[in-house]
Structure 1
């Protein structure tokens, strides 16, 4: 079944001396990775200690003429392979833009990189499939990067994921250079080195049937031990020789996990955030300025090497604070502060828990009241709404940002703390003009969860006690109220939409350019019942009990839609401008 299985660094898989090419079969789905995956990959590569493991790809040899090229069909791994080559293309473009600054080694690195991406005769190292214009867009990106590839400009090219991925990595390299105070060339070469040293396991199979069986087995394997498991094991082993009863150590560990809840992601993040928040008070851990996933085990081996009881007591206390911040601990009557914590969580503000945990744990000596904390949490919520749509600052920079703020707050109290945090957040955030520009674009593609949070916040602001509805209620694990695209995003638009938008070509163009913009998005219940229906059907839709579930559902957010008889690109433009102004006012900084 398996012809070979070996691990290779990326530079070997994309060797400039080889004629191996990777083709993604037409039956594969189109490129679908989004900013969250791009950010995770870039952050992992920037933080990597040694060779970063990128996972497994499954290939099938489809070579017809070995003299020309060895053709490996990518059965599994197309998202990673496409993303990696787009990252490499972004690195190449940065090096090429600064070619005059390159020394001999830099010139060689740039030329070699070009040959890794494009073989002689313009043959692509990785050939994406054709769905969603992936191949056309990919070829265009390589041309923009400065590589010798035939391509043509495609309509709405910049609105699709392949181009956005390429641009994300270009921006990320620039922001890395700025945050590390190095040149763009140095930042690009640093990312190039870690990317080329990253490891992939390449499995080659004999047939498509073998590939399917292997794919199924790989995706149904047992759960591996996590860093949290290994740290617990180290604790129990160390406690046995430290005078602390193993049973007591086990109870303290379980008390900590109870405070944090069952979600592994929260448990692991707490251990990172604890070190980052209280680093100045903890034993020094060599080469661990910031706790990352790859450093976590080594950090806690050091922290648990000493007075284990005192360390575990501190961890248990901090976990209780963290459980409240993350809303794991549900109070019978949540206070305004707890409500603020929930808003921060929904705005995807978890990186700031470093700062919030530190403030809450030290609130007495810092003279920080609930009112102060609410002000800080609201500032952080606004910061993350803006950050998660603009992408600035970069994800990898956030731990250092909040650790630096903690350092600056030493000796401050009360109002001064709130003012200092506000100044520091404003200093690293996008301007209102930049935020407005991003709000005018396809925000649903940028971060649909944050967009939902924004729309719900706007809807809630207009509610009274009498009209209050819980827009976060769930049924069977899913939100009842979800994002609704007024102009549908799906294919096969009904004739009513096609006619309203000016014909098939105009309708297709409107969908491509405007479907994911803020002005075309709203909140409704039972969204699936609206789907591709005409605008009037969506507006007037009722459920089996006669309740309005369309745009006349009583939410102030939909008031403008409820009085419309048609929906065009001009309507989307106008509503986008109006909602953008409301969002900027609703989530201020400073």
Structure 2
């Protein structure tokens, strides 16, 4: 693995006229909260004299150098760089209002790349579900009545604008200088995709814990890169579809229920990543040639390290999927199945299957907190269960779950709860 690390100020990082940072479509949506935004602002504001602040590292997949503007795919650091872009966009708008042309021009230079021919393009480009909304926020000084899907992104722009509106112009000039010249980023350039995803995993093995979805995404794309560039391109596209289907849905829960449905076993949150990796290595035919495949084997834990799970073995009706080598499927088939399951899961959770009767029963299940049924229902949907049969299953599931809540008994328990007068 060849890594080229460079410590750069934001002025240096964004100063190149022939580079742009692309946040690819397979990355998750912007998710920083108000606290994280103001922590960043405070870190810059408290700098004194020639003090510096380390913003952290970013991992860039560089590819081959080409004439014109080179696109650097951001494998790690997208949340941080997006937040910086939000601050700079809001500062530029304020300086334009104050008629501080020199500062507007400086920020224009840092926020845009200029090809030899053609219009200017954003220096930090979001090729994600947030891309269009980010552009709308950056152009507007007020959201008005526009409905935005990513409330975190909307709040970040609103909070940044609100803070900036309360500052004196000269204070903002000083803040801009410290942000651009005294805040450093360690840029790690990697030429091969498989190395970039491996580096991401190594960096994030310490410190703040990544979500299961982040770790699974990196595992899938990293192995896709090992299978070949065509597999990687297809995997990126499939992952983008998957995240679209899981928009406004707990993606960590999806992977848990997906595995429960495939493996027919009890599964705690802490087991999801390893069990997914194991399932992947034993199900995907291309993985047979990987030298580390033997690291992954099905070994059920005797102890539950997170206490009792909300799903007991008898609670989840699932279908066992054979994991032997004779039943291996191609990587493309694996990803298609994963995307199909995500689509079914998203429709179930959001009650948007397109069928009025099914959606009505799904709303009932949501009201009685029937989350433990989603893995089973997702399996039925992806298996092509007929509509009338599926509706009957929904009715029975409603009755089972409601009885469980009332009687405090497990769903598969045969005991019937009747009032004494009816016995």
In the superposition, the TM-score normalised over structure 2's length comes to 0.50
What TM-score do you get using the length of structure 1 for normalisation? 0.37
